[in-house]
Amino acid sequence: MTSVTLKEIQEAPQTTKDSQLTIDMSEGQLAVGEHRFELSVTDSSDNESRIPAQITVFIIDTEAPTPLIELRDAEGRLVESNRIPFGASFILNGARSTDTGGGTIASYEWRLIRG
């Protein structure tokens, strides 16, 4: 079995003697979504396939995002004690939430669960 990096196959076609090719993602990843690969073969008489085979690979995001809330005062300053004076406005900030599974945060749903 032959192994190539994603960068190598992105930069140039890879010719191997092996029937299997491992795409090594240790130095970069394909984005979430659709990616098409193609295979042509040549026989021992040097005849090349006329129509390449193609496969579409769907990279999916199966990792749940991680929510993170910061409390800020009405002027946008971080409130580390989580204490706001009575009657004062405040900001709930979810901008530091992350998605490590290849996607991005698409929406934020806020809910008061006790109050």
Q: What is the mean pLDDT of each run of 10 residues along the chain (115 residues)?
A: 94 95 92 95 96 96 94 97 97 96 91 91
What CA–CA distance (Å, rounded) separates 26 from 44? 34
Tell whether 105 and 74 lie within a shared domain. Answer: yes
pLDDT recorded at residue 100:
87
What CA–CA distance (Å, rounded) separates 92 from 113? 14
Tell whether 55 and 74 lie within a shared domain. Answer: no
Q: Considering its fold, how many domains does the chain have in total?
A: 2
pLDDT recorded at residue 27:
87
pLDDT recorded at residue 28:
87
pLDDT recorded at residue 101:
84
Q: Which domain holds residue 69?
A: 63-115
Tell whether 73 and 108 lie within a shared domain. Answer: yes
Note every long-range contact of 33-37, with CB atoms under 8 Å and residues 24 or more positions apart, other chains counting: 33/58, 33/59, 34/58, 34/59, 35/59
Single residue among 44, 59, 74 that ends a domain in this structure: 59
pLDDT recorded at residue 102:
82
CB 107 within 8 A of CB 99: no
Is pTM beyond 0.75? Reply is no
Tell whether 33 and 67 lie within a shared domain. Answer: no
Single residue among 14, 44, 59 that ends a domain in this structure: 59
Tell whether 71 and 25 lie within a shared domain. Answer: no
Single residue among 35, 59, 83 that ends a domain in this structure: 59
What CA–CA distance (Å, rounded) separates 74 from 89? 5
Tell whether 52 and 80 lie within a shared domain. Answer: no
Q: What are φ and ψ of residue 38, in 5° steps?
A: -135, 145
